[in-house]
Amino acid sequence: MPPVILDPARDILGLIDVQPDFMPGGRLAVPEGDAVLGPIAGLLAGPLLHAFATQDWHPAGHRSFASAHPGRAAFETIAVDYGAQTLWPDHALQGSDGAALHPALDQARIEAIIRKGFRREIDSYSAFFENDRTTPTGLDGWLRVRGFTRIFFAGLATDFCVAYSAEDAARLGYEVVVVEDACRGIGLPESGGGTTIASARARLLAAGVRFLPSAEVR
């Protein structure tokens, strides 16, 4: 497949939750999460002139935290009013060092920062919607006013916040590319022997999302 020819007028890089809490040693560490930093640095220094970033930004006692549900453990799934909710270790607490954008990120091209998960009673994976899939973050309006129509996603985690963001972007009519080596996933096991990474990839491919290495984004 030939490299993608970039168009600065319509292309933007979406950096999803590139935060210390999702890196090794963090509160919710993604395996090899810090491996995304090198490819992302290349993307930020290359011909993608525009970027936005998201931050998980949770209050203490957030509904998605296992600690908010006595007797429950991290990575269990419970039913809530907006659907299934994976319970997580406490992470990305508002104002904490772990919730900041990673200090290795060059923020010169990051033109908007979307904070999500700040409502105590609802989790938020997607850059576009809370997990009820209807409450908007405002990102869609910002992108449309700016004229961006193609989004290149990078960050953490492939099977949750990156996947939900890419899926919603495709549903909203954007052309979507996931930069494979600039993402890492959690990989929770699923019934039938698969993982959340495999099922997310299949779901995104079915939605028309492309997967490319960063070397082909130039």
Which residues participate in catalysis according to the annotation? 17, 116, 161
Pairing of strands 83-86, 77-80: antiparallel
Residue type, 157: A
Secondary structure E strands in 27-105: 51-56, 77-80, 83-86
| Residue 154 burial class via C-beta count within 10 angstroms: exposed 0-12, middle 13-18, buried 19 and up | buried
Max CA separation in the chain (angstroms): 52
Per the structure block, which two tokens stand in for 207?
């939605």
Rg (CA), the chain: 16
> 92: Cβ–Cβ under 8 A, 6 or more apart, which residues?
17, 19, 21, 27, 28, 55, 56, 57, 58, 98, 99, 117
CA distances from residue 214 to 44, 93, 146, 155, 173 in whole angstroms, order as listed: 11, 31, 24, 12, 23
